[in-house]
Amino acid sequence: MTIELPEALDVVAVGAHPDDVEIACGGTLASLVRQGYRVGIIDLTDGEPTPRSPGPEVRLAEAREAAEILGVQVRETLDLPNRKLFDSFETRVALAKVFRRYRPRVVLGLAGKTPLASPDHWQAMQITDAAIFYSRLTKWDADFDHLPVHSISKQLWYPLGLSTLQFPESSGHFVVDISETIELKLKAIRAYRTQFPPEKDRVFRLVESQNQFYGASAGFEAGEMLLCATTLGVRDLLKTVLPDS
C-alpha cells in the first residue's frame, strides 16, 4: 500500500490547547522558521468551551492567525475533548499518526504539571511522551492506518507555568535566544483576543518578564527555556560555551 505523505517537518511542538505553544515556546518556533526549518504545531484540543469565546470556530481562527504570525508551515488541531483530555490508547495513537505523517526530527512537548491551571496539560505531556514511542513501533499497521513507522531523533519539553520558580525534573535545561522574535511571540499570543482581553494584560507582562529573565541568565535580551529528555552531549566545548567567539 502506497500512502502519499506531506512534506516532512523538522520540528513539531505539541500543546493541549491553542495558545499553549505560543506562550511557552513561540519565540523559539519563530526563530527556527527564520533559520530555514520546517515547523509545525499540533493542538490536541480546540480549547473550547472557554468563558469569553463564542465557539470553536473563533478560537481556531485565532490559532490560524497566531501560526501565520510565527510563520510555521503546519498547524493541526486534533478532535480530542477539551477539559476531558486523558492519556489513553486512543489519544496516543491519534498523535502518533500525526508524527508518522509529518516525520519530525524533534518534538517539543509540555513539561510537568501546571498547578491551578488546566489538568489537560499534564495529560498532554503523557500523551506526547507515549506517541513518540508509538510512532516508531513496527507490526502495528492497522492501528496506525498503515502509515509508515517513524523514529523521532530528539524529544524536548517546554515548561508552561508562569507563576512557579520550580523546574520540572529533566536531564538538563538550556535557553534559546529569542531576542529577535520576542515581539512576534507576544503578537502571536495577542491574536487570542477571546483568551487575553485587556483586563488580562498581566499575562503579557508575565511572559515578557520571564523571557527577559531566562534570556539574561544566558546573556541574551530574551530567551525561552527548554528541558532535555535525554542528556545532551558536547563535541566542541569552546563552540558550545563561546558560540560567538
What cell numbers appear for 177 in the block? 535566544
Closest CA to 121 of 57, 43, 193, 192: 43
pLDDT for res 165: 67
pLDDT at 2: 77
Name the amino acid, one letter, at 233.
G
Q: Is residue 174 one of the residues assigned to a domain?
A: yes
Looking at residue 161, its pLDDT comes to 80
High-pLDDT (> 90) share of the chain, %? 87
Residue 86 in this model has a pLDDT that exceeds 70: yes
Number of compact structural domains in the chain: 1
CA 235 to CA 213: how far, in whole Å?
28
Would 6 be classed as within a structural domain? Answer: no
Mean pLDDT value of segment 23-45? 98
CATH number of the domain encompassing residue 152: 3.40.50.10320
Assigned C-alpha cell, 211: 523571557
Average pLDDT, stretch 222-236?
93
Q: What is the pLDDT of residues 133-168, one digit of tens each?
A: 999 999 999 999 999 999 999 999 999 987 776 677
Q: Which pLDDT band holds residue 120 (cuts at 50, 70, 90)?
A: very high
Query: Is 1 inside any structural domain?
Result: no
| pLDDT tens, residue by residue, 19-30 | 999 999 999 999
Inside any domain, residue 176 = yes
Q: Collect all residues with Cβ–Cβ distance below 8 Å to 147 and sequence separation of at least 6.
A: 3, 5, 97, 100, 101
What global pTM score does this model have?
Answer: 0.95
Residue 5 forms part of a structural domain: no
Please give the average per-residue pLDDT across 211-232, as a whole number. 94
Please check whether residue 130 lies inside any domain of the structure. yes
Q: Is 85 inside a domain boundary? A: yes
In the predicted model, what is the mean pLDDT of residues 176-202? 96
**Domain around 216:** 11-241
Q: Say how far apart CA 193 and CA 112 lie, in whole Å.
A: 27
Please report whether residue 73 resides in a domain.
yes
